[in-house]
Amino acid sequence: MPSQRKKEMFLYSIADFVAAMLAWICFFLYRKQVEAVVPDWRILEDPNFWYGILLVPTGWVLLYSIFDKYSDIYRMSRMATLIRTFFLSFMGVVFLFFTLILDDFVRDYTTYYKSFFVLLGYQFGFTALFRTAILTWANHRLKNGAISFNTLIVGGNQRAKKLFEDIQNNKAGIGYKFIGFVDANGIPDSELLDYLPCLGKIDRLPQIIEKENIEEVIIAVETSEHKKVKGILRVLFDLQDEIHIKIIPDMYDILLGSVRMNQVFGAVLIEIQADIMPRWQKMV
């Protein structure tokens, strides 16, 4: 990932920290009202206030780092992000409720319920607002062509040519910047040569990906070449921390049991992954 996008991902995590800080400040003031204390500047003298606005947001960022996707903001879906944000907010508030809030002053049991939903509302509301704003900005940059992903096609005949033309004619601006292709058969007179340079053969895929800073690899081989797909994937899966791998949907049936579908990009491509274990399970 380019350094500029890494900085933007860092700012995304900072936004999560600030959102959690604002949520905790608002909740702290709410708790003072429950205790019939009129909030004023004296709360700044309360050490619990300062501990809370530093430690609680740090905990939220750690939670998101384990269970969420602190990756490239230009690859994140706003709807999927909001759904994950809600469930993680719920999980985090349950934890905070039983570790920090349960011993607080209460008038009756309904105060517990109100406190829970107030904190959940603040946490989810601020985080969702910040994340939606950032991802909307990122989406506009992607559609305007300000951001693109260096892309390599594996395959060079009619299927690859048609795929290239379909993507180039897509008016949504989905971020592909084609660097070249690797012909699955190593044939020098590929149909794609009219559009893209041939960068080498299959056995040099790792070197080509590293040299050209490839971020996306699209497998677009002919039906007669399907038997080569698993061999290509074995090479690419070793590099999956660096690249995203996509295939044409009608090839997916030969891959069942080896990979899983992750995202569908329009009607064109399916993203695949070798590792079906969620990130949080790998860290346990």
Question: CA-to-CA distance for 29 and 227, rounded, in angstroms?
Answer: 64
Cα–Cα nearest to 96, from 23, 41, 161: 23
pTM of structure: 0.81
**CATH superfamily of domain region 149-283:** NAD(P)-binding Rossmann-like Domain (3.40.50.720)
Question: CA-to-CA distance for 65 and 62, rounded, in angstroms?
Answer: 5
What's the confidence (pLDDT) of residue 32? 76
Q: What is the pLDDT of residues 221-248, one digit of tens each?
A: 876 666 778 888 888 888 777 788 888 7
Of 76 and 132, the structure prediction assigns the larger pLDDT to 132
Q: Which residue(s) pair with 176 in the sheet? A: 149
Strand-strand pairing, 260-265 and 244-247? unpaired
What's the confidence (pLDDT) of residue 117? 93
What's the confidence (pLDDT) of residue 102? 62
- Domain borders along the chain are 3-143, 149-283
Cα–Cα nearest to 230, from 270, 282, 184: 184
